[in-house]
Structure 1
Amino acid sequence: MLKIARIFQIVERVQSAQLQRFLSTAPVLCGKTVQARAVAEKKPAPEEDLSFVMNVFKGQVESTQIFPFPKTLTEEQRETLEMMIDPTQKFFEEVNDPDKNDALEKVADESLKGLWELGAFTLQVPQDLGGLGLNNTQYARLVEIVGANDLGVGIVLGAHQSIGFKGILLFGNKEQKEKYLPRVSSGEFAAFCLTEPSSGSDAGSIKTRAVLSEDGKHYILNGSKIWISNGGLAEIMTVFAQTPVQDPKTGKTIDKVTAFIVERSFGGVTNGPPEKKMGIKCSNTAEVYYDNVPIPVENVLGGVGNGFKVAMNILNNGRFGMAAALSGTMKTCIKKAVDFATQRTQFGQRIDNFGGIQEKIAKMSMLQYVTESMAYMISGNMDSGSKHYHLEAAISKCFASEAAWYVCDEAIQIMGGMGFMKHTGLERIMRDLRIFRIFEGTNDILRLFVALTGIQYAGASLRELQQAFKNPAANLGLIFGEASKRVVRKVGLSSPPAIEHLVHRDLVGAATMLAKEIDSFGQTIEMILIKYGKGIVNEQFILNRIANATFDIFSSAVALSRASMALSENSDTATHEKLMAQAWTLEAMDRVKINLQYILRGQNLDNFQKMSAISKNVCTAGGVVQLNPLKI
């Protein structure tokens, strides 16, 4: 009993007044979490979250979906994919002309026809409904080829199947799938219609409405959508609208978003002219208008009032495809840069012998390697049935879009004036790339999503600890575990989570660095929760740096996993992959340290306030505040 009393005394000291303040407000930040409800209501614990990223916020390593690197293709699936790769590559080399598409500002007729004949618009539709029935990994490999050749075509394809009819695949009932999937597989375009003029990242604020008709047979849809890819082409659309729904708790009628399958042939559906854009010019982007469109009640997708869930799942489910496509784009940029660098001679040497050029090529190659690895890790986990990949998918979208921009920019720099010339193709690629950091969830919003979702998960653990203290006798295991963890941390005896046994022996050093920073990251998240409580939702300077640290941790784990697979299999490129994983992890862990310091150091927090004040001054002035130094 004395030992138990001593542990409680230690725990009480460790649980500072700040921690207690956080715990008292945790439900406000985290909602009444599933974990807290399970403790309070004595329900069975919820399903364990296997997300690597989610658990990093607790300073823990959940290795299930990371190590070993997933290999999910059966022999038959591999053979099917191999048969499709050559025709796809041949099509983009011999039929599709990206420069012609860009100049026409539409996909040339012969290319569009050829894409339908290839089955490129129906890669994941089940075979019995007219598609090719590919899994996510097979899809990723073919999308990579598209991204390597024509991102504009990639958007036409992706808007159709990655988001356009994806909701029917994910949420459609048997009748909806049998009615619509054969149609989107045989020439009818699909589109995803969410964004509105006054509703971008805040999807819940859409104004388009659908009201049940008096006879209860139709919803009458009114409103408009903006910047809809395939908006001028689509016959079948997934449309999101506010609908009146009775709140089961209060009995009051409230508005909730509902998803609908809408056909242009229903009547009342029109669109504006194609938008003039910086890039992806061959993709059709248009406003779409709905004027008293009658939608049969059986065309509700995923249930009335569940539209936000439907939209988020569609976007989450397709984001890995963006990483796959952009890994292909990066390959193209790297090849152009390398072809130039190995032929260009300056100062008596080929320029690929200069350290400055070598550093550029090395970083470009590492970014491509990590992006490609993320795409196939996520698709592999999805094919294995994982439901815990949403943060990883969001990271892959942000990482890929920023990495591809950097790689293209550096390729242009390596090629100098030649890279700036239109005929080299990099000018078009750069214009096409810019949109990827904006659409399907802006990178800014996705960073906040990653940080706040992870923080909420970590906060739920602290909330669970508070609940345990209400009945300590029944929760000694949880209390002892948390107490011992904090005590050894206080006296400097804590050890980081173990990763070394999960990687190849040649990568143990890099894995040790990663484990140490995961431990530091978890401690930092706990301190932030204690300090800010529910107020953390308003600290975007901090949240962005948390997200950046998360990106570096996840990307390093992915690189180490893939390189370990290559080393274990003694592949031809194993040594090269080992070098990239080691170099990437070292630099990434340095960035993690810097970001965590920025979050905790007073002078950096004060600098955030300075930047906030600078921004407010500029916005108040309507532009640059200071006068020209000449004062005229």
Structure 2
Amino acid sequence: MNSPLLNAGCRLGPSCISLLSRVVTHRTATTAASLASSPNTSESHTNEQKPKLKEKVVRTDTKPRTSNSFVLNLYRGQFQPDELFPYPNVLNEEQKDNVKMLIDPIWKFFEEKNDAAKNDMIEKIPDEVMNGLKEQGVFGIQVPVELGGLGLTNAQAARLIEIVTGHDLAISICVGAHQSIGFKGILLFGTDAQKQKYLPKLAAGEHIAAFALTEPAAGSDAISIKTKAELSPDGKHYVLNGSKIWISNGGIADIFTVFAQIPTADDKTGQVESKMTAFIVERKFGGVTNGPAEKKMGIKGSNTTEVFFEDCKVPVENVLGGVGNGFKVAMNILNNGRFGMVVGLSGTMKMAIRKSIDFAKNRRQFGRTIDTYGNVQEKLVRMAMRQYVTESLGFLLAQNMDRGIPEYQCEAAIGKIFASESAWYVLDEAIQIHGGMGFMRSSGLERVLRDLRVFRIFEGANDILRLFVAFTGLQYVGSHLRELQNAVKSFNLNAIVGEGSKRLRRNIGMSTGPNVNEYIHSPLHPSGLLLSKSINRFGSTIEQILMKYGKTIRDEQFIVHRIGDITIDLFTMAASLSRCTHSFKNQVPTAIHESNLVRIWCEEAYDRINNNINLIQNPEFIARTKLMAQLAREMVDKESTVPVHPLGF
């Protein structure tokens, strides 16, 4: 049998595929997830940019897992529409009315009662502001009503978070550290008794919560925490010892979600191994102290301290999520709360855009207002594009969570990366539009820029999250390539021909990718075609990269970083197309304006995707990465820049 389709498939025989599923194993992906977990409560290590990823060989007879995740399926060159199209619309009219009633009072409170500049100067949120926030119910937005909270869904909460963060980033950190991660573990994993005991006072703001994971030697690498919890001889409590750094609300918190290792001896071997476990710790247990408030670049109004645990006795009933499940608890808390950062930073960008427009249309230079000049117009449009895409991502994520979509860790990570980098871009451009006035404290923009810098670091440093997204996608592809290898071994003709046909169509240029245009409004079809082509080429490229590098891809971070960038561009294209289609279908009056923003975004993203794909397959780029690695080693060895000073001394 010598079918050309079969030959096309057989080129991916066992020797070529070589168990590519082991490229990024479960252990590697888990490690990447831990590396992506520098918590919201800490301004994470900035020097942890190149983690050592561990490898674990997995069984080759397991079935590849399937997923409806849009992002994961991109890595196979597939368009999985279920979670993006149509754009979700989960709130009924009553839910919309309920959250609308909360918007005006909270907006008025921030406009009239809170002074963000003052909070920054005194490096504290005043008591009267904290009390006002408590009266507004801000500290229990998502706690069930029967436990004293507002009982809002993720989408409802997102609308309020957008307002809070648009007004004061330091307050958003305080509130977010309290509920998005501080007591979120109790909501997600707490027993009924734990919820009844803790949530009412936390929702009222009577107690403040904090999330304590990061340690001096464990920032992004959360699994390596050293804090220990040892069971007492009577088996009634754990004795907690260790310290945590950069904990938001650390100096004011009454309740902590703390992660520690429980040393456990194996019954058969006697070997002691540690089981990372989460605990609910009350300050009043004793043995809980904190250092002075940290002096920070930004978010100065929020409280950030080191927290110490010295022979702190924690009742066994305060284990959260079960012994040994600490990593799972931490990852779920962080993933579950990331939508808040995305929608919040969208609100910050809106604020900066409004200020920039107001300034530009009133500032006259060379005989006319500066809003009439092309370079200012381009800045405003690019700021608006990034805000629109961020908002689309944030409310897509929040509503998908409300729909019960179970797998959103990659989408959440992309949202966090994109939002934090876009907000920085938007504020930088806002200051530029304001010129010298933007540099002055009176504009308020320099404070927001300082506040924003940390968002690219905490709750998962962006460099690490890019690796996490890429390695998770590569692992997903690897499991399916292993299945193809097994088909070749067993001569499964249907599987071989199917894969061979797909590759042949790609090779001769017949395949343009999935038909995205089936799901989007007709004015958006040119952009949909660009997305289809990009998905098709990306899937093919990932396969080629895996075949070339095999399991050593884990060491090629110059390449993997750019794979992460491509993924971000693909997902943002899809999310914005989905939202804009929703606007057309619902006859939203701004749909044409939105479509023009989306058109520019998609066209430029398409160019970036192709440039990055060309780059990671270019031998000259690979050679440059080797040269950069060499230069970096030389700098590290000298502990400085290497060239001799031009004056010779």
Q: Give TM-score, length-normalised by structure 1.
A: 0.95
The one-letter amino acid of 1:77's match is Q
CA distance in 2, matches of 1:285, 1:203: 19
For 2:626, the equivalent position in structure 1 comes to 609
The one-letter amino acid of 1:504's match is H
Corresponding residue SS for 2:308: strand
For 1:178, the equivalent position in structure 2 comes to 196
For 1:113, the equivalent position in structure 2 comes to 131
The one-letter amino acid of 2:529's match is T
> CA 1:419 to 1:451, structure 2 compared with 1: closer, same or farther past 3 Å?
same
CA distance in 2, matches of 1:575, 1:248: 67
8 Å contact kept, 1:14–1:486: no
8 Å contact kept, 1:210–1:241: yes
Does residue 438 of structure 1 match 2:457? yes
Corresponding residue SS for 1:240: strand
8 Å contact kept, 2:166–2:351: yes
For 1:361, the equivalent position in structure 2 comes to 380
CA distance in 2, matches of 1:340, 1:76: 38
Does residue 312 of structure 1 match 2:331? yes
8 Å contact kept, 1:29–1:533: no
Corresponding residue SS for 2:645: coil
Counterparts of 1:129-528 in structure 2, within 5 Å, are 129-186=147-204, 187-245=206-264, 252-472=271-491, 475-528=492-545
> Residue 29 of structure 1: CA displacement?
6.5
For 1:590, the equivalent position in structure 2 comes to 607
> Alignment identity in percent?
54
> CA 1:37 to 1:89, structure 2 compared with 1: closer, same or farther past 3 Å?
farther
CA distance in 1, matches of 2:404, 2:270: 38
The one-letter amino acid of 1:280's match is I
The one-letter amino acid of 1:614's match is L
Does residue 99 of structure 1 match 2:99? no
For 2:85, the equivalent position in structure 1 comes to 67
> Residue 12 of structure 1: CA displacement?
1.9
Corresponding residue SS for 1:358: helix
For 1:543, the equivalent position in structure 2 comes to 560
For 2:9, the equivalent position in structure 1 comes to 11
> Residue 18 of structure 1: CA displacement?
3.5
> CA 1:36 to 1:140, structure 2 compared with 1: closer, same or farther past 3 Å?
farther
8 Å contact kept, 1:230–1:284: yes
8 Å contact kept, 1:102–1:281: yes
8 Å contact kept, 2:352–2:430: yes
For 2:49, the equivalent position in structure 1 comes to none
CA distance in 2, matches of 1:477, 1:149: 59
Q: For each residue in 1:397-450, what CA deviation from the matched residue of structure 2 results, as whole angstroms up to 9, or x when unmatched?
A: 111111000100000001100111101100110110011011111111101100
> CA 1:248 to 1:539, structure 2 compared with 1: closer, same or farther past 3 Å?
farther
The one-letter amino acid of 1:190's match is A
> Residue 348 of structure 1: CA displacement?
1.6
> Residue 613 of structure 1: CA displacement?
1.6
Corresponding residue SS for 2:140: coil
Corresponding residue SS for 1:342: helix
> Residue 489 of structure 1: CA displacement?
2.1
CA distance in 2, matches of 1:496, 1:333: 38
> CA 1:476 to 1:178, structure 2 compared with 1: closer, same or farther past 3 Å?
farther
> Residue 344 of structure 1: CA displacement?
1.1
> CA 1:251 to 1:481, structure 2 compared with 1: closer, same or farther past 3 Å?
farther
For 1:42, the equivalent position in structure 2 comes to none
> CA 1:477 to 1:88, structure 2 compared with 1: closer, same or farther past 3 Å?
farther
Q: For each residue in 1:183-223, what CA deviation from the matched residue of structure 2 results, as whole angstroms up to 9, or x when unmatched?
A: 21231000000000111101011110001111111111000
CA distance in 1, matches of 2:337, 2:266: 31
CA distance in 1, matches of 2:71, 2:229: 38
Structure 2 alignment gaps of length 5 or more = 30-54
For 1:83, the equivalent position in structure 2 comes to 101
> Residue 485 of structure 1: CA displacement?
1.1
The one-letter amino acid of 1:20's match is S
> Residue 471 of structure 1: CA displacement?
3.3
Q: Give TM-score, length-normalised by structure 2.
A: 0.93
CA distance in 1, matches of 2:455, 2:364: 35
> Residue 486 of structure 1: CA displacement?
1.7
> Residue 598 of structure 1: CA displacement?
1.2
For 2:51, the equivalent position in structure 1 comes to none
Which deviates more, 156-165 or 341-350? 341-350
CA distance in 2, matches of 1:537, 1:182: 46
8 Å contact kept, 1:125–1:132: yes
Corresponding residue SS for 1:223: strand
Q: Which has the higher contact order (CA 8 A, sep 6+)?
A: 2
> Residue 491 of structure 1: CA displacement?
2.8
Corresponding residue SS for 1:121: helix
CA distance in 2, matches of 1:286, 1:180: 23
Which deviates more, 563-572 or 318-327? 563-572
8 Å contact kept, 1:22–1:532: no
* Alignment equivalent of 1:576, drawn from 589, 593, 599: 593
8 Å contact kept, 1:23–1:466: no
> Residue 521 of structure 1: CA displacement?
0.7
CA distance in 2, matches of 1:195, 1:38: 35
> Residue 38 of structure 1: CA displacement?
4.2
CA distance in 2, matches of 1:249, 1:450: 38
CA distance in 1, matches of 2:57, 2:511: 28
For 2:548, the equivalent position in structure 1 comes to 531
> Residue 616 of structure 1: CA displacement?
1.4
8 Å contact kept, 1:465–1:479: yes
> Residue 497 of structure 1: CA displacement?
1.1
Q: For each residue in 1:275-303, what CA deviation from the matched residue of structure 2 results, as whole angstroms up to 9, or x when unmatched?
A: 11111011010000000111111111111
Corresponding residue SS for 2:344: helix
8 Å contact kept, 1:26–1:533: no
CA distance in 2, matches of 1:238, 1:115: 22
> Residue 182 of structure 1: CA displacement?
1.1
8 Å contact kept, 2:223–2:327: yes
CA distance in 1, matches of 2:86, 2:57: 31
> Residue 250 of structure 1: CA displacement?
6.8
8 Å contact kept, 1:29–1:534: no
The one-letter amino acid of 1:273's match is P
CA distance in 2, matches of 1:384, 1:457: 24
8 Å contact kept, 2:343–2:391: yes
CA distance in 1, matches of 2:173, 2:24: 41
Which deviates more, 380-389 or 29-38? 29-38
**CA RMSD of superposed structures (Å):** 1.9
> Residue 631 of structure 1: CA displacement?
1.6
> Residue 381 of structure 1: CA displacement?
0.3
> Residue 24 of structure 1: CA displacement?
7.4
Report the number of matched residues. 622
